[in-house]
Amino acid sequence: MREFFVVGGRKLSYLDFGGPGTPLLALHGHYNEASVFAPLAEALAPRWRVIALDQRGHGESDRAQRYERDDYVADVAAFHRHLGIGPVAVLGHSLGGVNAYQYAARQPDRVRALIVEDIGAVVDSDWSFTLRLPRHAPSCQELVAALGSTAPYLECSFRRSEDGWGFSFDIEHTVASQKALNGDHWQDWTAVACSTLLIRGTRSDELTAAHASEMITRRAGKARLAELPSGHVVHHDAPAQFATAVEDFLSDPG
């Protein structure tokens, strides 16, 4: 079920996949939105109830003036307060992964378990791909053709307008967000107190095996690593294995 709330004069949207299970907050990456977690929600039900946020500038949430680190973390905190629930497990992919571990580091009493999907403690993203995205296509078929092999990863964000097809995110806003995401976030990663699962795609072009190993080492027994046969978007490339890894960890976070 889609819901909305307002924070700082901006509307934020989220999908509550429902059910009687324990809540799991989910945060998507760039180019995506809350609906990308529908397969995971189905796989985890009924034990877990996935509630996924359309982060600022994405999906049905409003565009924003800023996309800095503190802004995203404040949105997650507002989302959590709006839901009126206690400490929860939080999962995030890419952009959402950094948002998740920064929230966990800065609000340790609010996060009881953390899952980070394929993003590092140091981020150096290349936003040239974003600038090459087609801004408009006359039809959905032509948008898919223009995107080529990347189309399946972005299709949840396809939107139809009066003059054709595009995305539920803005190109310039996404570039601003990607620039703000880049940097050294070791201080936040090592400050996380709760048990953490880091999931890495073995073919990832974002998180190297060496960096993932260092992330686990620096957390001194409070984090574990799962490597699955996929690229950067593990939940898309290996959905069943991803869901199993998430469920196994949530069942016994340690």
Tell me the mean pLDDT per 10 residues along the chain, length 254: 94 97 98 98 98 97 97 98 97 98 98 98 93 93 95 96 92 97 98 98 97 96 96 98 98 89
pLDDT digit string (tens) for 152-203?
999 999 999 888 999 999 999 999 999 999 999 999 999 999 999 999 999 9
- Please report where in the chains the tokens 């397969």 appear, as a residue: 39
Q: Which residues of 60-80 are buried (b: 16+ CB within 10 A; e: fewer)?
A: bbbebeebeeebbbbbbebbb
Task: Give the pLDDT score at 240.
Answer: 98
Q: Confirm whether pTM is higher than 0.95.
A: yes
**Domain architecture of the chain: domains with CATH:** 2-121+171-251 (3.40.50.1820)
Strands 111-117 and 223-228: unpaired
Kindly state the tokens that stand for 153: 């990863």
| Residue of 117, 143, 150 lying closest to 225 (CA atoms) | 117
Cβ atoms 9, 74 nearer than 8 A: no
